[in-house]
Each structure stands twice: as structure tokens, then as C-alpha cells.
Amino acid sequence: MSLQCATTFNPSSDAEFDLLEVINEIEMDSEAAHFRYSVKSEWTPVGLNRTSVRGCYEPGSQTKSERFDNPAEFIFHALASCMTTTLIRRARARNVAVQEVKCELIGEIDLCGLLGIQTNGRHGSERAHIYLNARCATDADELKVLALESTVYRAVTRHLPVDVTVETY
């Protein structure tokens, strides 16, 4: 299995994205820095997750219908998918039959900290709400415990220590 992802950013191209225009807009109206995104993941009976990202629009786009890829979406996709898969696999290990699982992650982002407009706020995502819905014969509390064993959930919520090395050439 292979996953190929590409993200491009051309700072010399101002055709669709002008960062200074976005910063000016946010400085004039701080509410322009707040937006929400939604990631939905659904487990299929053949053992696959289908994930869709909705509502995560890059500020500065000409209209809300213009949608640009955002590298953070991969994290939220991974979080929703991993929690869904973990719930299914852990339930099976305990002989709990699960017929269907749907996961929705709704996030809130404030660009003020991310863009350096305000230094006292969070840098990027403010909060995420995860809603899991499962059709099965066990209670929600047991399923929550299973889903919280997700590797991605643990990494994201426990601030995984990451060593970063930067080299120039």
C-alpha cells in the first residue's frame, strides 16, 4: 500500500492567495481569522475507512467555494480514521460485534496565532470535537475507551515529542 501526497506553495504567485491581504483583513476584523472544518470518516463492512474533509477553506481565497489542500487535513484525516479503525479492531478483539461506525471531527482554527498577528494565542487549531456513532450491542462508554487507544489520538493529544533537525545547503 502506498500513499502519495503533494502540497505546493508558490509564494511568488498572487493569483489566488495573497497572504498580506489575509493578514490585513484579519487585523481589521479579527473574526475573519476564525473558521471551522469538518472531517468525516466512515468504516465500511469490508474493513476500509472512507474519509472526507469539508469546510476547511484557506483564508484569502476569492470565494468560499475555492478549496485548497491544507497539510493539517492529513492529521485530522488520520485522527478520524485511526480512532474508527482502533474502535473496530479493539471491539473485535473483545468479541463485540460492531455493524457500523461513523466519526465526525469538527475543528476550530484561529489564524491570529498561526500568522503571528497575536503571540498570546494558540498557533492554529483551537479545539477539536470528535463525535463517534456506532451501531452495536455495547454501551458508548466502553466504545469510547476503545477508541481512545488510537495511536494518532495519543500522539495528537499528548503532544508527541518530536526531534527536529534543520540543515541548510
3-state secondary structure the chain: CCCCCCCCCCCCCCCCCCHHHHHHHHHHCHHHHEEEEEEEEEECCCCCEEEEEECCCCCCCCCCCCCCCCCHHHHHHHHHHHHHHHHHHHHHHCCCCEEEEEEEEEEEEEHHHHCCCCCCCCCEEEEEEEEEEEEECCCHHHHHHHHCCCHHHHHHHCCCCCCCCCCCC
The pLDDT of residue 145 is 92
pLDDT per position as a tens digit, 2-11: 444 444 444 4
The pLDDT of residue 120 is 67
- Residues forming beta bridges with residue 51, ordered by sequence position: 41
User: Considering the domain 19-157 in this protein, what is its CATH number?
Assistant: 3.30.300.20
pLDDT at 97 over 60: yes
The pLDDT of residue 17 is 56
Summary mean pLDDT of the chain: 76
pLDDT at 118 over 90: no
What pLDDT band is residue 159 in, cutting at 50, 70 and 90?
confident
pLDDT at 140 over 60: yes
pLDDT per position as a tens digit, 32-90: 777 777 888 898 877 788 888 775 555 554 444 445 556 777 888 899 999 999 999 99
pLDDT at 100 over 80: yes
What pLDDT band is residue 12 in, cutting at 50, 70 and 90?
very low
pLDDT at 127 over 60: yes
Rounded to 5°, angle at Cα 99 from 94 and 101:
90
On the 0-12 / 13-18 / 19+ scale of CB atoms within 10 A, 41 is: buried
